[in-house]
Amino acid sequence: MATLTLVHLSDLHFHALPRGLKEWASKRLLGALNWTLKRRRQYPLERYRRLLEAVRSRPWDHLLISGDLTQLALEDEFRQARDALAPLLEGSAPVSIIPGNHDRYVSEACEPDRFQAHFGPWHTSEPSPLPGAREVLWRELGPGWRLLGWDSTHPNDWLSASGTVFRETLEASEALLGSLAPETQVVLMNHYPLWFPEGWRVHARHELLNLESVREWVWSQPRIRVYLHGHVHRNWHLHLQRPGGTPLDVVNSASSTMIPRSGTESSFHQIELLDSGGVRVEPRFLT
């Protein structure tokens, strides 16, 4: 019997078009063109309504969203996302959210931080993390389980969608993991993938700039039992076995609001953290 039920969503991409010359005269020009010619057809409004209804109709203990709530980090998009998600955010069950690269698409979105302005209450650590670790989200999920979240996003040049997990983030995370009781396990949520299906072609300018070192760090932390991410719009669940140690379940739920492509097996995932200490991942398909 499951002790905790999580629902994982990612890459919702609420969207609008830029207004005025200032918003157009940036990387948003390229993003808006990509949206108009390609992505707009993949994200009809009906998909958003059906996803929210599907999530609201099932019982869960914690909702986790691993970034890219917006397409171009526009104020209109953040407002749409906040209004649409209000029934979930203001419910009785807790919600935790981290930003994706599209939520920090341009420097303008970071000064002031639009993500924090609209979703700060769901990106706040309980208790506060170590000094200097503003990129770290640290929350209790339930008995024997903690949530560790990373903000690894930052603006990039026109042809890059990369992120970075900074050394200070890893140091703070290691200190927090070391403070846990021996039996406590951790769910780590970050926007960027660390592992990929066999044969997957990794694009350097689309992933973490320090992918290899971060992957090695996570692999060396046996307390981390689940790694949640988005970014790549192909859902997957990888069950990886550490040599002589605990397994690691890697779950990608991106993009939860997109019309499924051929071969897609899920739109998001329900994750059960079991009494036995095990993890069960169940795909949920939105037709």
pLDDT tens per residue across span 195-250: 999 999 999 899 999 999 999 999 999 999 999 999 999 999 999 999 888 999 99
The domains of the chain are located at 2-284
Looking at residue 129, what is its pLDDT? 65
The answer, yes or no, to whether residue 130 has pLDDT greater than 80, is no
pLDDT tens-digit map of 14-68? 998 888 777 777 888 888 888 888 888 899 989 999 999 999 999 999 999 999 9
* Mean pLDDT within 170-178: 94
Is residue 189 pLDDT above 60, yes or no? Answer: yes
Residue burial 151-170, b: 16+ Cβ < 10 Å; e: rest: bbbbbbeeeebbbbbeeebb
Q: Which is the CATH superfamily of the domain at 2-284?
A: Metallo-dependent phosphatases (3.60.21.10)
**Choice between 63 and 132, residue whose per-residue pLDDT is larger:** 63
Q: Which tens digit of pLDDT belongs to each residue from 133-152? A: 678 999 999 999 999 999 99
User: CB within 8 A of 227, min separation 6: which ones?
Assistant: 188, 189, 190, 194, 195, 218, 248, 249, 250, 251
Longest Cα–Cα distance of the chain, Å, equals 58
